Structure 1
């Protein structure tokens, strides 16, 4: 069998987007780019757990600044802001909750579950 060289090792690294975001009518009005951003945020959750980024209630949070979103999604500032708003619990579907910390500190983002517990 052949070896993996350089970036070839990355060919089996995937971002996962939950199927329910595509198939469930509740998410019909969420843009494809916002769904992709949510998948990127889910991926960041494992890094947050490794870093011990938990609040006082044991909830995992992530940091994902606008510059990173713009770079990963190859979009402008306005579009990145719009995508975050689309996912936000204040103005959007409620898949994320953002908590501003002020004074130049990055916003904490709680990535919420897409399925309700029964």
Structure 2
């Protein structure tokens, strides 16, 4: 991995989202990373219209692949998934024997940007009429951040 300095012109492109409110919960670091990984995958699921009849976005991420992505064993991942379930942050449903679980995520209420949700876009858990042909607007988590126009406010290498 090559490291570069984070400068005022730089934008973040590849990171895991983690709602700040989760830091107030009594969760292990591995559980927080696992949730961030699942939430990142859920944004892709949302773009690809992977939701149930009620509009809940779900993720399919086999335990072996989760373990590989986090560099942990499958036993650790199973324990941390259970930790997230007990905290009410995820719900797992296994559709058929041998298939990967559908993992539904719950988010803190303040995780949604004000004004971002359109009137016809459902709130989590709200029943909707499912139209697979209609795609949700993609989020911009992986788009480069806009440059701050306050370049004269701080000198280079000066911290806030």
**What TM-score, normalized to structure 2?**
0.58
Partner Cα distance (1:63, 1:40) in 2: 12
Partner Cα distance (1:12, 1:100) in 2: 32
Aligned-CA RMSD value: 1.8
How far is the alpha carbon of 1:114 from its aligned partner?
2.6
Note if 1:44 corresponds to 2:41: yes
SS where residue 83 of structure 1 aligns?
A: helix
How far is the alpha carbon of 1:115 from its aligned partner?
3.5
The structure whose residues are more often helix, as a share, is 1
SS where residue 40 of structure 1 aligns?
A: helix
SS where residue 97 of structure 1 aligns?
A: strand
Larger radius of gyration: 2
What does residue 22 of structure 2 align with?
Answer: 21
Runs of 4+ in structure 1 deviating by more than 4 angstroms, as ranges, are: none
Say which structure, 1 or 2, has more relative contact order (CA 8 Å, 6+ apart). Answer: 2
Aligned to 2:87, which of 89, 93, 102?
93
**Which residues of 2 match residues 11-90 of structure 1 at below 5 A?**
12-22=13-23, 24=24, 27=25, 29-88=26-85
Unaligned runs of 5+ in 2: 1-11, 111-160
Deviations along 1:76-104, whole A, 9 cap, x unmatched? Answer: 1110100100001xxx1010000111222
